[in-house]
């Protein structure tokens, strides 16, 4: 795996963790994650920039998250190799939410 692929996997993990955190029972974690997911900043580690790096349409992710459809949003990140996903489609994933 080259360095670009490793970086994409790292950023995909960051994005996936934010999605998980946005449904956390801890109000501080939830608030921070939801703020980050809805921010329009363009800093290096911003939601918008990470989506750009992963070639994910940020509007589509937000649309899925607006109705809190985590399965669709996480599928896009976990399974699709375009975004660095490595899970097999028939594998079961344990999620913390």
Q: Count of domains in the chain?
A: 1
Residue 19 lies in a domain: yes
Residue 84, by phi and psi: left (phi above 0), alpha (psi -120 to 50) or beta? left
> CA torsion sign, 23 to 15 to 35 to 57?
negative
- What's the pLDDT tens digit per position in 1-18? 799 889 999 999 999 999
Q: Is residue 73 part of a domain?
A: yes
Tokens of 52: 């750009």
For the full predicted model, state whether its pTM sits above 0.75. Answer: no
- Within a domain: residue 37? yes
Q: Is residue 31 part of a domain?
A: yes
Each residue of 49-69: pLDDT tens digit?
999 999 988 988 888 787 665
The string of DSSP codes covering 19-60 is HHHTT-SSHHHHHHHHHHHH----STTSHHHHHHHHT--HHH
Note down the domain range covering 50: 3-83
């Amino acid at each position: 795996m080259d360095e670009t692929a490793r970086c994409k996997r790292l950023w995909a993990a960051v994005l996936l963790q934010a999605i998980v955190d946005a449904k956390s029972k801890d109000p501080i974690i939830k608030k921070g994650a939801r703020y980050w997911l809805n921010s329009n900043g363009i800093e290096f580690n911003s939601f918008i920039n990470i989506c750009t790096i992963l070639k994910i349409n940020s509007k589509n992710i937000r649309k899925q998250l607006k109705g809190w459809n985590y399965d669709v949003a996480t599928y896009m990140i976990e399974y699709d190799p375009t975004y660095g996903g490595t899970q097999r489609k028939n594998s079961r994933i344990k999620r913390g939410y």
